[in-house]
Each structure stands twice: as C-alpha cells, then as structure tokens.
Structure 1
Amino acid sequence: METRIPHRLRAADTDRERVAALVQSAVTEGRLTLEETEERLGAVYAVKYTDELTALTADLPQPSPPRRRFTPHPALRVHAAFAVALSVIFLIRWATSDVPYFWPIAPMFWLAVSLAAHARLRGARERRAAAVPY
C-alpha cells in the first residue's frame, strides 16, 4: 500500500491538460525536441500528484497572463462623447465669431481634465471592486 504524504494533492485531468499544453507550446517555440516532448507528455499523463506536474515544466518559461482588453465604462463613454460634442460646439462658435484669441482652449482644457479625473476615479473603483473577494 502506498503511503500518502498529507501535503500532496492529486492531479486532475484539467491539471494534466494545462501542463500538456505548456509542453506542446514549448515544442512549437523550439524549446524542446520531439523526443523530449514525447517523453514529457507520457510523463504528464502518468503523474498522480500536482507537484510532479510542476517538475515537468520547471525548466520552461511560464506563459504570460493574457492581457485584459481595455473597455471603458459606459458612463465614461458618455462623458467623453459629451466633452467632444461640447468642444466641437465651442470650435464652431469660435470659428464663426470675430474674436481674435482662441477662447475655447480654457473650456476644452477643463473638459479634458474632468474626463481624465473621471477615468482615474473609475479605474480606482474598478480595481477596488476586483480586489474584494466574494
């Protein structure tokens, strides 16, 4: 009978598949030869514990986490659309007036500042919400 060490966890099929995908990506990158890949894949599907899986990929670089695509919050999109529309109105108003100086720069600057502040606050709020465990 096999003696079980209490801190070892049994590997699931999903664990094996994840490690097999790492090994297969390593061979496509040229990090492993075909012989090494066959040997490691055979070992991957034969392991019982998760610590044995990590030993099979210890010399391979870990994949970088997928980049999160930036999608602005709908309220931020509305704010940006409002700022652009107002800036266009200011520019048209200035172009049709006889004022010699470019007066729309001040309100456009403050519209940009408000938009940047809104984006920063929204980002901080979303980071705080993501950090809270459920």
Structure 2
Amino acid sequence: MNDHIRISDAERESVAVRIRDAAAEGRLTLEEADERQRAVYEARVGADLAPLTADLPEPPPPAVPRRGTLSPQARRRLLIHAGIGAAFALLLLLRWLVGPVPFFWPAGPVFWIAASLAGHYWWATRRSPRDSGPRPARP
C-alpha cells in the first residue's frame, strides 16, 4: 500500500478486521481496539493506517484449496450425477432381466454412464477453486 495514495473502504475494512481479530485474541484491550477502530475509519491515506497495525503480527496467508479437492457444490453435483446414472443403470438392468435378449446388452450404456461419471470427476477436480463459485445470473 502506497503511503501517500488515498485508501479504499476495502483497505480500511481489512485493517479493521485485523484489529478486531487482535482484540479477540487478547492482544489489544477493548479501549485500544476502540481507539484504533476510530482511527481506521478516519484514515485518508496509507500512512494513516500503517502505525495502527505495526505492533500486530502479520495475518496468516489465506488457505488456498488444493487442486484435486472438491468444493461442496461440486461434490453435490457429482453425487446427483452418480445418483441419476445409477438409477438409469438399474432400469437398464431390470429391462434386460425381463426381456427376451440373451446377451448382456446394457454393458454398452452402463460403460458410457461410468465413463461420463469418471469424466465429470476428472473435470471437477482439475477446475481452479475460483471457477467453482456460484455462477452469475443471466439477464
């Protein structure tokens, strides 16, 4: 952050969060935290914010999800896909059992159901974490 450039509300809020966290951890008294919070919201440039957190430890870096892990939304979509595939495969097997065809014809469709599920899993674990958030609404 440049010391002589005006700061944004987001920058003020990030410093305010650090001060609130420090107070919650017991690093600052409530009076100190109140004084610093007031100073944060009165700050105009980066130089005004720097002394407010100079004696506080740096915040830990944000946790980045590993590639290969599934977000809750991706896991839910994959389970829905698996459930629909399993239901369809069971219907195919039932149709084969009651039908007159002697060879196991559901093998082909069941193979493609399994392949689509494997492809879905492969694709979902290789997407970047920022791609797995909610999609913007269409106009």
Structure 1 length-normalised TM? 0.50
CA contact (8 A) 2:3 2:45 kept: no
One-letter amino acid matched to 1:53? L
Find the aligned partners of 1:7 and 1:35 in 2 and give their Cα distance.
26
Task: Select which of 59, 62, 70 maps to 1:62.
Answer: 59
**Range with greater deviation from structure 2 (67-76 or 46-55):** 67-76
Tell me the equivalent position of 2:21: 25
Q: Give, as a single letter, the amino acid of the residue that structure 1 aligns with 2:72.
A: F
Q: Which runs of 5+ in 2 are unaligned?
A: 96-109, 132-139
Tell me how far apart the structure 2 counterparts of residues 75 and 46 of structure 1 sit (CA, whole Å): 46
Matches within 5 A, 1:1-134: 8-58=4-54, 59-62=56-59, 64=62, 69-72=71-74, 76-85=78-87, 115-124=117-126, 126-127=127-128, 130=131
Tell me the SS of whatever aligns to 1:10.
Answer: coil
CA shift, 1:71, in A, is 0.4
Query: What is the RMSD of the two structures over their aligned residues, measured on CA atoms?
Result: 4.7
- Report the alpha carbon displacement of residue 111 of structure 1 after superposing the two structures with TM: 6.2
Letter in 1 for 2:122: R
> Gaps (5+ residues) in structure 1?
1-5, 94-107
The alpha-carbon deviation at position 79 of structure 1 amounts to: 2.9
Q: How many residues align?
A: 115
* Equivalent residue letter for 1:82: I
% same residue: 35
| TM-score, with structure 2 as normaliser | 0.49
3-state SS, counterpart of residue 72 of structure 1: helix
SS state at 1:32 partner: coil
Q: CA deviation at 1:118?
A: 1.9
Residue type at the aligned position of 2:34: E
